Structure 1
Amino acid sequence: MILSWKNRRALNKKKNNNHRLCEDLDAEINIPTHFRCPISLDLMKDPVTMCTGITYDRENIERWIEAGNETCPFTKQVLNTFDQIPNHILRRMIQDWCVQNRSLGVERIPTPRIPVSPFEVSEICSRIASATQRGDANKCVELVRKINNWGKESERNKHCIIENGTGCVLSACFESFAADSSEKHVNLLVEILSVLPWMFPFLEEGRSKLGTESSLRCIIWLLGNGDLCARQYSVLVLKEILHSDERGIIPITLRAIEGVAEALFCLIKESISPAASKASLMSIYCMISSKAKNDKMTSRFVEMGLVDVIVEAIVEAEKIVCEIALGVLDEICNTRKGKEEACKNALITAVLVKKILRVSNWATELVVSILWKLCLEESVRIEAIQVGAFKKLLVSLQVGCGENTKGKVKELLKLLNVYNNRVDSSCVDSSMDFKYLKRPF
């Protein structure tokens, strides 16, 4: 143990010495003024010259223009054009300077790629549309991969791709080949789904193509039969489709497709990635809370054991996931079967009480709503008192909450006050840690 402690101490000392050495080297480097961007004062990686003759780093001047500014940051002159001319000579000088100072820890900046233009995006969209009409899946795969590679190069490319209607073209392509055969064109369909998540939101035309029964059947089929990447891309797209469905039509269409609930439940239970789990929870929430919600769909999730999975997820989930999970649980508890299943869970009351005032105002309101529904059962009321719910509810009332939530808190306090003196609330510590609790299923 002593030897281990000494080794750690020596290692930390070495790291500190290395850090000081790097600081000393940085202090010795004197970056020429004309190599610095006038906006950030950092070394320019992709210098471009504006119409006023001043050179900036492309990323910084683009951010300046996107913020709505129409003047040159340095001269304050009005920009007659936003054209950015690459300054190749200055860029080569900066690269040569980096090579000369390599011994001081300076890395050579890579030669930047030329940003994609609106004309190039429009042209490739036309070629995808033509290949879709011909039924040429191989050509579509090639073109979609090119778009994907453009997007990976820079955020500027992504903006350009999105602004020129690529989402609608890819949605039409997806619907066409999904209607033909999901298994036959699986490579193309997955490739399209890998691009679509960062293109949302797009026009109604594109959303309607993805919301057709053939498109949704393909997405659900990939959720259940695709590899890990295909399943993640599919659920991300499904979440966006459901989230943008203001009329509540998509859940009605999904009811007619077999395997929806099973596929989403498996993604949460298997937890293939945080993004997939979050998207799955959000999709379930949209389905069971929409205007066209159906208790049969909610009951199906309950029968599969979603309540137990959600309770476990809430224990150590990050803020957003916790809020969505509580939203799903709140909707489930609106049904008789959902409340019965929730009351059977041995951890639910303790976990819910622990989250009061710990996550966010919205999460607290959801917890209060769930407890208000579950505390009709005497066993839940007794357990709530044991884990310190009375005190936490009093604090939440003092801190402040919405009128609807305030009314539920007052009703809960009245229900719990009956047991407040009869139950020993010290038998369970309200600050207990649930990290090592076993799964209840």
Structure 2
Amino acid sequence: MGPAAEDDESEARGIRLLDSLSKLACEISSLPEFRGPFRRSCCDLARRAKLLSPLFDEIRDGIGDEGSVEGIEVGALSALLDALGSAKDLLLSINQGSKLHQALKGESYAIKFQEVTRSIDDALNGVPYEKLEISEEVKEQVELVHTQFRRAKERADSPDLQLLSDLSLAQIGKYSDSNILKRLSEKLQLRTMNELKQESLALHEMVISNGGDPDNCLEEMSSLLKKLKDSVLVEPPMSENLESKDISSMYRSPVIPDDFRCPISLELMRDPVIVSTGQTYERSSIQKWLDSGHKTCPKTQQNLSHTALTPNFVLKSLIVQWCEANGIEPPKKAGSSQDVRSGTRADCDHETIRLLLMNLQSWSTEKQRAAAGEIRLLAKRNGGNRVCIAEAGAIPLLVALLSSQDSRTQEHAVTALLNLSINEGNKASIVSSGAIPEIVKVLKNGSMEARENAAATLFSLSVVDGNKVMIGEAGAIPALLDLLCEGSPRGKKDAATAIFNLTIYQGNKVRAVKAGIIGHLMRLLVDPSGGMVDEALAILAVLASHHEGRTAIVQSEPVPILVKIMRSASPRNRENAAAVLWSLCSSDMQLLLSAKELGAEEALKELADGGTDRAKRKAASLLDLIHRNLEA
């Protein structure tokens, strides 16, 4: 290529760069409104970039038909394009990213702003705009902007000390009112449920893109986000057009239990599934994680032995039950509708189901095993299948297979019944087919997988109050207690959940106490590594409301561990510990004195100020007991 051709190519490249620079400056100036802790830094950077736009336009317009870019180096334009590109990327990441991460890692973000500012200043140093044929107005404007970039690169924005203080206090929970959370909501602009939902999605995307916990602060961010969500739910924004009483009734909403939130999205789970490490996630969130090529558990960082996702039917039932109890529409899987008896048969393969039912009645163990396994999978797949399989008459046949001598057939049968029981209409059919005594037999004598799924099935059936009595009378509680002691982590959770639900019925409280449950629960309380403290306390809180339960709990000398839990455990566990202590001490002044001597009063005062509503009531009642009976 000759010198003339090289000049032409250089000029053409210069023109392209000017066009790109003008477009980039326009894109930066049209970015959405900036929010969060770096709002000022973003606005300053975007405004300065916008003020450079006339420079590019005038240089480009001055080229005219001659195609000359004399007086300016193409390399300088290229450096400036790269610098402004970095500025746009930073602004987008701030605008679309997690505000909590920006607040917690403010120093690293401040460094990024300085680096971008420095690169723009360096690039402008290579552009001889003072020699270019541009208007004096534009020249003065560019010189002013350049001066601003030069000054900005030498100084970092001072940290927001109030924000840092509020973050620190909110993280350790040392706040007596909502003022700190209000300030954080305003500063981070996370004031509405929609804004908080966007923050949840931003955290989700950050975990996915980072391949795990970003900067090892996911737990901190999740905890802060939950507190901000709870604060918004408790104190909704007021409107001048509505009376306060009407507002509170419109916005009153229960706090979602932590166990019902997906660890990735922090939202109420619609379709909870279990991964190989035993952790539960929302199906869509964990599937996105796996589809991105990850082979680890996001919460524990353990390698996944397999990527199969097992539906957590017990948790799903608990979530539905909690929603119904609190007047909330139960969550549905995306793109699906609730199980109904009408309008679902068209999606079923009736001929396949008919053949499978014939094989369930075969004399061949292999055919029975294969058919039960297929029905198990079909019932797991969707609500329409659950309706069709039940209407085809499968339930009595599956109940009959619960006594099969083939352990795998038995596992398939009890799990198929578990899946079918998700449909409310099928629960009655399962019970009327005589399933409860047979399921209890599997719970006592089956393989570990069969026992665990039998426990989950009993829980699912026990959602109907009348079934609680039948399940207790069938001898399920001692068998569930055995599983609670020797099962896998998932099996222990299933057993505890079933026991908790069954002991809501008074007669089952006595059965549980006589089976020796209190000693086992107390052992679980003092072993946090077992991961069963939450469940043990919840069951104790139910049993403590019964005379025999209280008597057995007192004999296990529970006061020291209950006081310890009230001091430092999670809000829900502190609440349950206070509830148990109240049940015990309200009729035993000696226990009340023992609790006071162990320092319960200080913990109760903290709960009365900052605990859950139930914890506040229990703590206030216990403090009143102490003042009336021990300080007279």
Which residue does 1:188 correspond to in 2?
Answer: 409
Contact 2:537–2:577 (CA<8 Å) still a contact in 1?
Answer: yes
Which of residues 131, 136, 154 is equivalent to 2:359?
131
Contact 1:314–1:322 (CA<8 Å) still a contact in 2?
Answer: yes
| Aligned-partner Cα distance in 1 for 2:623–2:462 | 37
Which residue does 2:622 correspond to in 1?
Answer: 412
Per-residue deviation, 1:133: 6.2
Which of residues 510, 522, 546 is equivalent to 1:311?
522
Which of residues 480, 483, 490 is equivalent to 1:264?
480
SS in 1 for 2:526: helix
Give unmatched runs, 5+ long, in structure 2: 1-207, 210-345
Which of residues 506, 518, 533 is equivalent to 1:294?
506
Equivalent AA in structure 1 for residue 372 of structure 2: V
Which residue does 1:362 correspond to in 2?
Answer: 572
Pair 288,120 (structure 1): closer, same or farther in 2 beyond 3 Å: closer
Contact 1:327–1:366 (CA<8 Å) still a contact in 2?
Answer: yes
Per-residue deviation, 1:370: 1.0
Pair 304,191 (structure 1): closer, same or farther in 2 beyond 3 Å: same
| Aligned-partner Cα distance in 2 for 1:181–1:147 | 14
Which residue does 1:221 correspond to in 2?
Answer: 441
| Aligned-partner Cα distance in 1 for 2:433–2:535 | 26
Per-residue deviation, 1:307: 1.0
Per-residue deviation, 1:216: 0.9
CA deviations over 1:369-412 (Å, ceiling 9, x no partner): 1111111313321221233211111011111431x543332221
| Aligned-partner Cα distance in 2 for 1:211–1:413 | 47
Identity %: 18
Pair 120,135 (structure 1): closer, same or farther in 2 beyond 3 Å: farther
| Aligned-partner Cα distance in 2 for 1:351–1:279 | 25
Which residue does 1:282 correspond to in 2?
Answer: 497
| Aligned-partner Cα distance in 1 for 2:473–2:353 | 33
Q: Is 1:352 aligned with 2:562?
A: yes
Pair 205,361 (structure 1): closer, same or farther in 2 beyond 3 Å: same
Which residue does 1:431 correspond to in 2?
Answer: none
| Aligned-partner Cα distance in 2 for 1:371–1:386 | 14
TM-score normalised to structure 2 length:
0.40
CA deviations over 1:53-112 (Å, ceiling 9, x no partner): xxxxxxxxxxxxxxxxxxxxxxxxxxxxxxxxxxxxxxxxxxxxxxxxxxxxxxxxxxxx
TM-score normalised to structure 1 length:
0.56
Give unmatched runs, 5+ long, in structure 1: 1-39, 42-117, 152-156, 423-441
Pair 401,272 (structure 1): closer, same or farther in 2 beyond 3 Å: closer
Matches within 5 A, 1:11-410: 122-132=350-360, 138-146=366-374, 161-166=381-386, 169=389, 172-179=393-400, 182-183=403-404, 187-195=408-416, 199=419, 202-212=422-432, 214-243=434-463, 245=464, 248-257=465-474, 259-269=475-485, 271-289=486-504, 293-295=505-507, 297-317=508-528, 321-346=532-557, 348-356=558-566, 358-375=568-585, 376-402=587-613, 405-410=615-620
Pair 240,255 (structure 1): closer, same or farther in 2 beyond 3 Å: closer
Per-residue deviation, 1:144: 3.2
Equivalent AA in structure 1 for residue 488 of structure 2: S
| Aligned-partner Cα distance in 1 for 2:435–2:530 | 32
| Aligned-partner Cα distance in 2 for 1:205–1:189 | 23
SS in 2 for 1:249: helix
SS in 2 for 1:165: helix
Per-residue deviation, 1:301: 1.5
SS in 2 for 1:356: helix
Per-residue deviation, 1:328: 1.4
Equivalent AA in structure 2 for residue 406 of structure 1: K
Pair 253,213 (structure 1): closer, same or farther in 2 beyond 3 Å: farther
Equivalent AA in structure 2 for residue 224 of structure 1: K
Contact 1:353–1:388 (CA<8 Å) still a contact in 2?
Answer: yes
Per-residue deviation, 1:342: 0.8
Pair 340,119 (structure 1): closer, same or farther in 2 beyond 3 Å: closer
| Aligned-partner Cα distance in 2 for 1:139–1:217 | 25
Per-residue deviation, 1:235: 1.2
| Aligned-partner Cα distance in 1 for 2:449–2:493 | 15
| Aligned-partner Cα distance in 1 for 2:472–2:407 | 23
| Aligned-partner Cα distance in 1 for 2:462–2:580 | 24
| Aligned-partner Cα distance in 1 for 2:526–2:371 | 44
Contact 2:524–2:533 (CA<8 Å) still a contact in 1?
Answer: yes
Contact 1:278–1:321 (CA<8 Å) still a contact in 2?
Answer: yes
| Aligned-partner Cα distance in 1 for 2:460–2:388 | 14
| Aligned-partner Cα distance in 1 for 2:545–2:538 | 11
Which residue does 1:90 correspond to in 2?
Answer: none
Per-residue deviation, 1:273: 0.8
| Aligned-partner Cα distance in 1 for 2:476–2:361 | 30
Equivalent AA in structure 2 for residue 260 of structure 1: A
Which residue does 1:20 correspond to in 2?
Answer: none
CA deviations over 1:310-367 (Å, ceiling 9, x no partner): 1121233479843332221112111111111111112x11222222264443332222
Structure label with greater radius of gyration = 2
Contact 1:333–1:339 (CA<8 Å) still a contact in 2?
Answer: yes
Per-residue deviation, 1:236: 2.0
| Aligned-partner Cα distance in 2 for 1:265–1:400 | 31
Pair 328,400 (structure 1): closer, same or farther in 2 beyond 3 Å: closer
Contact 1:124–1:143 (CA<8 Å) still a contact in 2?
Answer: no
SS in 1 for 2:552: helix
Per-residue deviation, 1:141: 1.7
Pair 188,212 (structure 1): closer, same or farther in 2 beyond 3 Å: farther
May I ask how many residue pairs the two structures share in their alignment? 288
Equivalent AA in structure 1 for residue 484 of structure 2: I
Pair 191,412 (structure 1): closer, same or farther in 2 beyond 3 Å: same
| Aligned-partner Cα distance in 2 for 1:252–1:208 | 14
Contact 2:422–2:460 (CA<8 Å) still a contact in 1?
Answer: no
Pair 256,305 (structure 1): closer, same or farther in 2 beyond 3 Å: closer
